[in-house]
Structure 1
Amino acid sequence: MAKIIKNYEELVTEGYGQGHGRDYKPCKTVQNFSSIGRSHRVQGRVSKRLHHLFSDLELSTFLLLDWNQNVTDIREHYPLDIYDLNSICSRYRMKKVSVDYIPFTLSSDFLVDFGKFSIALDTLYSKDLNKAHVIESLEIKRRYWEEEHNTPFKLITEKDIPATVLENIKWLYVEKNDLEITNHMIDLAVYFMEEISQYPQSSLIQFCKHSDQTQKMGIGATLALFRKLFALRILQFNLEISYLELKLSEIHASNLLQDENTVHATN
């Protein structure tokens, strides 16, 4: 017990689990924690910093959160106060937190802010839900967040991840961190929307192939332009529909494009 308290206090002293946005330091990083699954380091759109993730499920959850425009901050591997944890264990006669738990200290996979509202999330593959120590750990975390910190706690399994939405976001995510909205991108979106109105029943893929041929562009060039416009949210589509099956009639201009057009019209 003394070891984990020391580890916890060292983490706090060194600033881990503290700060917000770009300044937040997760209590576990790819450098200091060995993962059983695949590790990922991903640049966040919301936080503008590198996020450390220790499974494909954590990555999937993160990408869905990072794409959500209502999310204002994502803090992964958020350490839980060891004293609050052991107070809960004593109150409910549960085994106190020990070094048998996650190294350094017990943590929640994500603490997510939606403006002034926050929610704590843990990710877990459903095959592990029948393990007694896992269930106990989750119950401790639930009571920690909901009883001690008045914060909702939710468990995410692979069954909660919408496959099509995730694949679309992965496709868009490649682009979005290196892009900015320019007049050229706005003009390009206006041009595409005019073209789309002429071929509403065509699929996006068919339209892009045809455009590549008629404009003498490289294979995939038009689709790459659409991906940039989607990534910037200048053009939008329902992410529950795969971009590979998307019809042009299902693409619409965002308020951003409409606002820009209004500005151009008044100048």
Structure 2
Amino acid sequence: MAKIQWSKEKLHRYIKEGRGQGVGKDYTPWNYTYNYSSKGRASRIFGLKTGRIHHLQSDNQYRAFLLFEFSSKVVDIRESFPLLDVNEVIDDKEDLRFDKFTDRETKEPYVLTTNFLLTVKDMDGKEFLLARTIKNTTELKRRITFERLEIERRYWEHKGIDWKIITEKQLSRQLAKNIEWVRETMLEGSEGKLNKEELSVILLRYLLENDELPLKELLKLFDKMEGLQKGSALFLFRYLIAMKEIVIDMEKKIELSLTVNDLLK
């Protein structure tokens, strides 16, 4: 397959399409999944906080997204955020190798992007931005990666925005797996005919009143007591975790054989 060239015409088209613009539901990433040619698996996922589809380049970006979304502090997630004004923002760029990020045929500079631009809310309700780049530790050994990261670092430094690199070592697979398991209950229509808002409140009370019993047994008893289909109580339990009505150690595997008292933090 011939490599697709980057050109001024394509740049103008992307900008006209609104890529890299907007916030929340109205944000459009600079690149979609079909634009990627990565070693990882590109994926698309519906954002519970943004109400739109997110385009992620790799498994590590997917895990990072899950962690960001689950955080109560993060209110908006913008992936593939373009550094369109990089030349205007960075003053000290004489030693930066921008020439390495240029189309060889057209000589048009590529638009560099940061994996995630997050809007975060502090304890006082004040919002601020964080920029995060996701990289495998093996990539950090490459000179070309270092050159690109240095451009990103200076860009966000000049913007006055905190920027950090996150590697696979900081992305807990178990935590991401647990978040994935509970967030499914938040998706519209996932509950079927189950009234998850009303029944989850009843289940929470039932769990707290019988916290010395194994969770697996409690969930079975609740299904029978409420006349629910098998597995309904487990769905409601996952929903309670997703809503953070129940707080457990999400870094560990969720063992249903434990008592509620042992599971709760």
TM-score strictly above 0.5: yes
Judging changes above 3 Å, is the alpha-carbon distance between structure 1 residues 5 and 120 closer, same or farther for their aligned structure 2 residues?
Answer: farther
Q: CA deviation at 1:61?
A: 0.2
- Is the Cα contact below 8 Å between 1:164 and 1:240 reproduced in 2? yes
Counterpart of 1:117, as a letter, is F
CA distance in 2, matches of 1:87, 1:188: 54
Matched residue SS, 1:126: coil
2:86 alignment partner in structure 1 = 84
Q: Which shifted more, 214-223 or 53-62?
A: 214-223
Counterpart of 1:91, as a letter, is K
State yes or no: 1:55 paired with 2:58.
yes
State yes or no: 1:146 paired with 2:193.
no
In structure 1, runs of 5+ residues without a counterpart are 254-267
Q: CA deviation at 1:139?
A: 0.6
CA shift digits 1:41-100 (9 cap, x unpaired) = 11111111110011000000000000111101000000112x424774863322224137
- Is the Cα contact below 8 Å between 2:89 and 2:155 reproduced in 1? no
Q: How does 1:127-138 map to 2 (within 5 A)?
A: 127-138=138-149
- Is the Cα contact below 8 Å between 1:238 and 1:250 reproduced in 2? no
Q: CA deviation at 1:220?
A: 4.2
Matched residue SS, 2:202: helix
- Is the Cα contact below 8 Å between 1:4 and 1:105 reproduced in 2? no
**One of 175, 180, 184 as aligned partner of 2:199:** 184
Provide the alpha-carbon RMSD of the alignment.
3.1
CA distance in 2, matches of 1:234, 1:126: 36
Taking only the aligned residue pairs, the percentage that are identical comes to: 29
CA distance in 2, matches of 1:67, 1:3: 36
2:175 alignment partner in structure 1 = 165
State yes or no: 1:119 paired with 2:119.
no
In structure 2, runs of 5+ residues without a counterpart are 122-126
Please give the TM-score of this superposition, normalised by the length of structure 1. 0.79
Q: Which shifted more, 71-80 or 84-93?
A: 84-93
1:107 alignment partner in structure 2 = 113
- Is the Cα contact below 8 Å between 1:44 and 1:50 reproduced in 2? yes
Paired residues, number: 245
CA distance in 2, matches of 1:175, 1:104: 40
2:102 alignment partner in structure 1 = 98
Matched residue SS, 1:233: coil
CA shift digits 1:102-137 (9 cap, x unpaired) = x95210000001032111111111111110000110
CA shift digits 1:230-261 (9 cap, x unpaired) = 223232222233212654114559xxxxxxxx
- Is the Cα contact below 8 Å between 1:181 and 1:232 reproduced in 2? no
Judging changes above 3 Å, is the alpha-carbon distance between structure 1 residues 88 and 5 closer, same or farther for their aligned structure 2 residues?
Answer: farther
CA distance in 1, matches of 2:244, 2:196: 10
CA distance in 1, matches of 2:76, 2:260: 33
